[in-house]
Structure 1
Amino acid sequence: MKKLWWAVPVVAAGAAAVRRARAGNGTDDRAGDRWLTVSVYRQPADVGSEGKPPPPLDGLADLIDVQVRPAPGDRGTELAARYKEPVPPASASLPARLAGQDPRQELRRALREAKALLEAGEVLRPDAPPTTRPTPGGKLVGMVTRRSGGEGVL
């Protein structure tokens, strides 16, 4: 039994490869560029007017497709967006995401800010600086705060 320790990572890698291969056989040629969606607690008429996306999505209007539709269960509006052109795989890789160079991060940020502006009238941001003097902990908090703006999570 002790000699089979290597089997666990091999089986996990094989399962991940099969999952990726199955996902690649779908009919959607843009499977990696799926719609990013937020629910906004407003009526569809308040969210998008005359085919024009709400701010700050309007700054990306030439680059993105936007859909505005009623949310299921009469719970506001779904605001969805994706880039018109597929995102290159290199710019969507993990190193690019960690470096803040994934273009989808800008779209995620714009969707969250549009939701905040439509629901609250302003975009709330954390107070800066997080500490009164530059400390290693303060630098770490600043880095995490900047990263969470593009990914939506800490």
Structure 2
Amino acid sequence: MKYVKPALLGAAVVGTAAAAARRNRSAAGREDDASRWLTVTVNRDEADVMPGGTLPEPLDRLAGRLEARVRPAPGGRGTELAVRLKDTPPAAAVSPLGRLAGQDPRQEVRTALREAKALLETGEVMRPDSPPTTRETPAGKLIGLVTRRSGGEGVL
């Protein structure tokens, strides 16, 4: 009886990982997926987002590898900042295994875009407490192992 809860939790994690892999396989065939624009809406004026045509930090350190555009957000709600890689990443890097191994260059772009939005709107990037304030359980370690490679974007 004491092994039922861990077994159910393990089955749920495996099922979730299988569903994510199936979703990624079906999306991997789309050619536009690797070269699509990644966009955030920033609650600032266009002149503040890219002053003098310069990308905000931390996107600026990736500027040689990126295309960028800014335009007013619909409804006058700030500015849309969109970036994408100039070169299409290799298929092996964007595959589910490449993502788990941390080889997908789009993960770095997504993280930099999210951090740029935070810096422009609040002046700082919030980070979680380190070390965490709770004690990790065996199930938490398993979930942490799976989600650690989600690239900080909420997607495995």
Q: Would you call these one fold, judging by a TM-score over 0.5?
A: yes
AA at the equivalent of 2:99: R
Provide the rounded CA distance (Å) in 2 between the counterparts of 1:83 and 1:99.
Answer: 19
1:51-79 CA-partner distances (Å, limit 9, x unpaired): 11000000001111111111111110001
| Secondary structure of the corresponding residue to residue 125 of structure 1 | coil
How far off its partner does 1:88 sit?
1.1
1:5-35 CA-partner distances (Å, limit 9, x unpaired): xxxxxxxxxxx69xx5xx56xxxxx553101
AA at the equivalent of 1:81: V
AA at the equivalent of 1:153: G
> Is the CA contact 1:40–1:76 (under 8 Å) kept in the aligned structure 2?
yes
AA at the equivalent of 2:53: G
Percent of residue pairs bearing the same amino acid type: 61
Provide the rounded CA distance (Å) in 1 between the counterparts of 2:143 and 2:33.
Answer: 34
Q: TM-score, normalised by structure 2?
A: 0.71
- Out of 114, 119, 122, the residue aligned to residue 120 of structure 1 is 122
Provide the rounded CA distance (Å) in 2 between the counterparts of 1:144 and 1:89.
Answer: 21
| Secondary structure of the corresponding residue to residue 111 of structure 1 | helix
Larger Rg: 1
Aligned residues: 129
What residue is the counterpart of 1:72 in the other structure? 74
Q: Looking at both structures, which has the greater relative contact order when contacts are Cα pairs under 8 Å and sequence separation is at least 6? A: 2
> Is the CA contact 1:40–1:77 (under 8 Å) kept in the aligned structure 2?
yes
Q: TM-score, normalised by structure 1?
A: 0.72
For structure 1, the residue ranges without an aligned partner over 5 or more in a row are: 1-15, 25-29
Matched, 1:102 2:121: no
